[in-house]
Amino acid sequence: QKEVEQNSGPLSVPEGAIASLNCTYSDRGSQSFFWYRQYSGKSPELIMFIYSNGDKEDGRFTAQLNKASQYVSLLIRDSQPSDSATYLCAAGRYKLIFGTGTRLQVFP
Amino acid sequence: DTEVTQTPKHLVMGMTNKKSLKCEQHMGHRAMYWYKQKAKKPPELMFVYSYEKLSINESVPSRFSPECPNSSLLNLHLHALQPEDSALYLCASSQENNQPQHFGDGTRLSIL
């Protein structure tokens, strides 16, 4: 059974802090890795994608991939209350497996 | 607003009804997907179309029937659904399979 695992949270961080979200995956054949943000009652919104080992930065977001450890992370710098949402990690090759998501709460 | 448009946004139907969900994208994407999402759960893949051909069916019951009339459109035909089929149905598209998927706003389906 191919799985993607995330801590369900909630992860609570103060405004302006760095939020660190983590994800592990079981399928070593996975080639693509994605982070989606989902607000309650809304559809998932693509935040970051990464294909190669290392870091990828886009604005306040950094995705990190370590294929040897089968580990993906998302860092959110200068967290804002509007970042409060559930963050879904997804991994796969020809189809995506989603993790159950980590609920992030950013308090003022 | 998303570039993947799903209609209707809400649908209530009885177990004997036949209805269809529609999805449209004009980004030139060649892969399209149907997902089912229950409350507080992650999206679960149902079907994948690549270049208008069904490439993945995740052992979905036959009461769900997908159709891809052209590269921009994806339908999900519903017939004789069960109450447990009530969920948010999400359509997504990507340039090619294995590339970033962009989701529509979803259709919230309730089966009476």
Mean predicted confidence (pLDDT) in B59-74: 96
Q: Residue B58: CB partners within 8 Å, gap ≥ 6?
A: A95, B44, B45, B46, B47
Residue in B42, B45, B88 nearest the CB of A88? B42
Average pLDDT of every residue of chain B:
95
> Would the CB atoms of B97 and A96 count as touching at under 8 Å?
no
Query: What integer pLDDT is reported at residue B98 of this predicted model?
Result: 85
Residue in B90, B98, B105 nearest the CB of A94? B98
**What residues in A contact B103, CB-CB < 8 Å?**
36, 43-46
Phi, psi of A26 (to 5 degrees): -100, -25
- Residues B13-29 pLDDT 10s: 999 899 999 999 999 99
**What residues in B contact A42, CB-CB < 8 Å?**
105
Bridge partner list, A92: A32, A96
Query: What integer pLDDT is reported at residue A1 of this predicted model?
Result: 74
Mean predicted confidence (pLDDT) in B36-61: 96
Task: Establish if B45 touches chain A: CB-CB under 8 angstroms.
Answer: yes
Task: Establish if B57 touches chain A: CB-CB under 8 angstroms.
Answer: no
- Residues B82-97 pLDDT 10s: 999 999 999 999 999 8
- Residues A66-83 pLDDT 10s: 999 999 999 999 999 999
Residue in B48, B90, B97 nearest the CB of A43? B90
Query: What integer pLDDT is reported at residue B2 of this predicted model?
Result: 59
DSSP string, A85-102: EEEEEEEESSSEEE---E
